[in-house]
């Protein structure tokens, strides 16, 4: 069933609002049209290109915000962060991140993105991973853009400990989940 242009443009607007990090290629694939058509749609709808959308979100100076490690030690790019609450990063999977044989991303790269986001979200000078429990839900391929969310659990935990739930998606499909128990010097969730 082919959509009308109006239907497509409405769906396009909603899709980009849901996930600002979707690429034109992904949109073209999703709607069964050419990349050129998506570009024209965006121009008509005044939706900036992906690079601009990312710059928009990333314009805040996270360097002064993240306490637990220098920003260049984060694997992936932090897009949003609220210390001790939540954080969001994106990571573009390249050929160097996959197994040669099957083009599937190696687990430790997904782990690294999730783990470094769990470190970054901690509002402390020191944050170390104590334990983690991860599931590789769906294979990730070269060219995929992994969007990772870290949510700090608010319920009571041990002193100097914080639990963080991490979920990574590609095109809004969950590919990885993780639970990270972090050591910190100050506080934790018991306050």
For a second copy, the binding residues (CB under 8 A) are 69-70, 73, 75, 99-102, 104, 106-109, 111-112, 115-116, 125-126, 128-136, 139
Query: For residues 176 and 85, what is the distance between their CA atoms, to the nearest angstrom?
Result: 20
Residue nearer to a second copy on the CB measure, 48 or 139? 139
Residue nearer to a second copy on the CB measure, 36 or 185? 185
3-state secondary structure of 10: helix
Query: For residues 173 and 26, what is the distance between their CA atoms, to the nearest angstrom?
Result: 13
Residue nearer to a second copy on the CB measure, 12 or 110? 110
Residue nearer to a second copy on the CB measure, 52 or 173? 173
Query: For residues 30 and 93, what is the distance between their CA atoms, to the nearest angstrom?
Result: 20
Least spacing, CB of residue 189 vs a second copy, in Å: 19
3-state secondary structure of 8: helix
Query: For residues 11 and 17, what is the distance between their CA atoms, to the nearest angstrom?
Result: 10
Least spacing, CB of residue 20 vs a second copy, in Å: 27
User: In the 8-state DSSP scheme, what is residue 64?
Assistant: G
Residue nearer to a second copy on the CB measure, 67 or 149? 67
Least spacing, CB of residue 81 vs a second copy, in Å: 18
Question: Do the bridges between strand 86-92 and strand 77-82 make them parallel or antiparallel, or are there none, so unpaired?
Answer: antiparallel
Least spacing, CB of residue 136 vs a second copy, in Å: 5
Which of 161, 167, 164 is CA-nearest to residue 136? Answer: 167
Tokens found for residue 111: 């782990």
Least spacing, CB of residue 177 vs a second copy, in Å: 10
């Amino acid at each position: 069933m082919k959509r009308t242009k109006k239907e497509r443009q409405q769906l396009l607007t909603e899709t980009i609002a849901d996930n600002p990090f979707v690429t034109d290629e992904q949109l073209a694939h999703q709607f069964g049209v050419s990349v050129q058509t998506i570009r024209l749609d965006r121009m008509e709808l005044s939706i900036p290109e992906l690079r601009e959308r990312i710059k928009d979100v990333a314009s805040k100076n996270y360097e002064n915000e993240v306490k637990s490690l220098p920003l260049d030690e984060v694997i992936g790019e932090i897009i949003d962060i609220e210390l001790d609450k939540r954080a969001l990063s994106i990571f573009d999977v390249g050929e160097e991140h996959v197994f040669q044989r099957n083009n599937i991303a190696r687990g430790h790269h997904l782990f690294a993105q999730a783990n470094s986001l769990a470190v970054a979200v901690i509002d402390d000078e020191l944050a170390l991973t104590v334990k983690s429990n991860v599931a590789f839900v769906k294979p990730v391929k070269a060219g995929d853009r992994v969007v990772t969310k870290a949510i700090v659990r608010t319920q009571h935990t041990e002193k100097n400990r914080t639990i963080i739930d991490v979920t990574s998606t590609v095109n809004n499909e969950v590919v990885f989940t993780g639970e990270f128990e972090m050591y910190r010097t100050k506080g934790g969730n018991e306050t």
